[in-house]
Amino acid sequence: MQADLLVTGFLFHKGRVLEGGIAVVDGKIWKVGKESTLPKADQTLKTRKLVLPGLIDMHVHLRDMELSHKEDYFTGTCAAVAGGFTTVVDMPNTVPYTDTAGKLKEKMEVAKGKIVCNVGFYCGFPRDLNEVDEINRHALGFKVYTYRSEEEWDPQSIASLVEASRGVVCFHCETPAKKPEPSFFDVDAISALHTENSELEAIKHVLSSVKKSVHICHVSTPASVMVCSGRATCEATPHHLLLSKEDARRIGVIAHVLPPLRNEPERLLRLLSEGRIDVIASDHAPHALEEKEQLAPGFPGLETTLPLMLTLVNDGFLSLRRLVSCLSSNPARILGLENKGEVEEGKDADLTIVDLKAEHVIDASRFYSKAKFSPFDGRKCVGKPYATIIGGEVRMENGELFVKKGCGSVVTP
């Protein structure tokens, strides 16, 4: 039998790197092995590069609908594919807010016609807990913002949601009691409002409210990581791993993000290399530049995350094994995506091929994201995505996208 696609290179397979190939049939990995043992294929992609399981970003804001001026499903997923991601999971803080089964399904319907990679969705804290069963059928999980409403802080209602959810429940952890936001970018005022302690207290509060493991988003300090240990999975962003409060002062409002950048990010990075952080996620949060100037928090991350993390591999701060765990296998496991996260026969043919030695400079003006700015703009990196293969289709090669609006798939549980 002839395969649809044959990919060769240095495969990341069962925790090791081996030279060989992957034969793909019907969007699935059919055979993995030495090139000489593999069948012929209609299409071949012969590289001498590293072939990783498709990367999964479990924390992105694709926006669209009434926030389409910031990003839409097409531009956001183009940014994902360009950045080497095969699957992303979209957050519910959209306009309209995603907090009913109806609005969730509407969003998925709109996305279907525009996405170019695999996209799963989280639902926000449901307006009606009776809808959780229905939401469970469509969403990969829920996202709770502990500071957002009384319900989202209430231990009983948190417990009920976690109990009823069949997917992962993710938390943005901050205590609710707060003064108004400052009206201009003042690093000290913002840190005083969004303190390390407020994050830690909120995590402890969530963990003491639930009986099952949950997922804590964008931890920004070592204390937050340590309190999750054995009780919850946790995620860190490239910016909290690589940028400090001092960097925020130097870069200015472009670097404004919540949680804010902290002192000594290298301590968080050490915990990542020690295997104490489960997931690396971009928290891709695009805004219009005018909105940034008005203190909108966040910035795009889909096109910078992989180069930044590969640079850490080259610099010896992160092993390739940990990179693959945090960007593919662990997110797949946490999201319950059994057919993703490994290069193995029978799994989906989602692959990210990287050029580990490519030296380049991040240029935000060339992003596919509508948000063409980044606190990492101008940063030198070593390593970048070379090709993105989704369901056996080459969607990006050597920086060029091969996508049609709507060629992506909505991922359901």
Q: According to the binding rule CB under 6 A, does residue 76 interact with ligand DOR?
A: no
Q: According to the binding rule CB under 5 A, does residue 240 interact with Zn ion?
A: no
Least Å distance between CB 93 and ligand DOR? Answer: 5
Q: Which residues inside 40-99 make contact with Zn ion, applying CB under 5 A?
A: none
3-state secondary structure of 247: helix
Q: Which residues inside 78-107 make contact with ligand DOR, applying CB under 6 A?
A: 93
Give me the catalytic one of 64, 72, 90, 283: 283
Print burial letters for 124-152: b (CB count within 10 Å at least 16), e (below 16).
Answer: bbbeeeebbebbbebbbbbbbbbbbeebb
Q: Which residues inside 53-72 make contact with ligand DOR, applying CB under 6 A?
A: 61
Listed in sequence order, the DSSP H helices in 287-405 are 289-293, 305-314, 320-324, 330-335
Sign (positive or negative) of CA dihedral 123, 129, 134, 140: positive
Q: According to the binding rule CB under 6 A, does residue 194 interact with ligand DOR?
A: no
3-state secondary structure of 7: strand
Report the partner that residue 77 touches, choosing among ligand DOR, Zn ion, none (CB closer than 5 to 8 A by kind).
none
Q: According to the binding rule CB under 6 A, does residue 146 interact with ligand DOR?
A: no
Single out the residue of 50, 111, 12, 87 nearest to residue 302, CA to CA.
87
Distance CA 119, CA 140 (A): 10
Number of residues that bind Zn ion (CB under 5 A): 2
Asked if residues 19 and 33 have their Cβ atoms less than 8 Å apart, the reply is: no
Q: According to the binding rule CB under 5 A, does residue 199 interact with Zn ion?
A: no
Q: Which residues inside 271-300 make contact with ligand DOR, applying CB under 6 A?
A: 285, 297-298
Task: Return phi, psi of residue 310, to 5°.
Answer: -65, -35
CA 122 to chain centre: 12
**Active-site residue, 283 included:** yes
Q: According to the binding rule CB under 6 A, does residue 301 interact with ligand DOR?
A: no
Residue 265 or 297: the one with the smaller Cβ distance to Zn ion is 297
Q: According to the binding rule CB under 5 A, does residue 172 interact with Zn ion?
A: yes
Report the partner that residue 389 touches, choosing among Zn ion, ligand DOR, none (CB closer than 5 to 8 A by kind).
none
Structure tokens at 72: 């839409």
Residue from 38, 58, 258, 277 that binds ligand DOR (CB under 6 A)? Answer: 258
Residues in the site for ligand DOR, rule: CB under 6 A? Answer: 61, 93, 172, 257-258, 285, 297-298
Active centre residues (catalytic): 283
